[in-house]
Chain A
């Protein structure tokens, strides 16, 4: 409450988390969902480091033969954030691999269209009519989409 810098930093961290989560939930483009995830993770990491901060304290690194010059900030949240950052990048890389594969298969990155195609595919696999449609699907769709992305890849 007391300190304005702390308030600003808290607001920043929370703002990033909320913008990121909002982006994941509201985005209609798969790639933008991944970008939003990057932001949300950055915000959560910032919040975690804030949990270990102390005024007038030093970085938790000692030098040879010298005792700690004064109070140090908490090293534990820093270690956790190190872990969280690396985990986040791994998840991002995997998410992007999946985005690339979805693009190769469906030729679209629009969330609504992908969901539609997904529902159609699942219904086709199972051999049941799509909810809300009267035509029976003809079975599983071939993997290359009707609108081949080939022309899009090259510029």
Chain B
């Protein structure tokens, strides 16, 4: 990890001092020791704040939406999943590729901060949920790659296990499961605000006329919000797992998104989101011989 950190700092210092980029987006150490946070570096001498460790979870591509007005190019560090976020934003015409200098980091897989919370530094820590069966640890788009590509390790994932368990349940049981999860939702919108696939100018949930989503926190409004968001990001979700990590009340949101990803792959044979910026999203295109299972 600290070998990548050294390379990050040298690259960033070079880019900033040479004036090639106006801003570098990376991560820096947060508090406690199992937290890292996004860092916005625009001066050469600050690059020593940059770090890469097993807790650099944040998908930095989402910030590009705020930085459209920055003159000059923006450099940002991306793991495998983050890089797909950039393709997503390019696909949605939110960001121009030439404004970015993308530095890819082959990702060794990150650790679960909640699991680390009870432990000391150096203890054995569980893999983060999203990294357990990650299929794209190597960035899919980059201008510079820091280090060799890593092999894709085939591992089991708790999310996939939960999906299979849910699929075997009877409808009433499944409904109770999700009703209990959504009844805990605080409606803090961390899942929406951190998601790179959620980049509408004005979200349907914020509109007052018509008021699709009310302000009350009850099961009905929460269900409407999560189901609508699941459908809206279907075919756009890049499995960066940030929504699930950001959720303060541990709602297994990736079991929602991953289910739709599995269905899209099974029904339409579409490849996952964010791999090819030129391709349209699965629900934004069609094939004449699409299946007609029940119509």
A binds B: no
Residue positions of A touching B, CB distance < 8 A: none
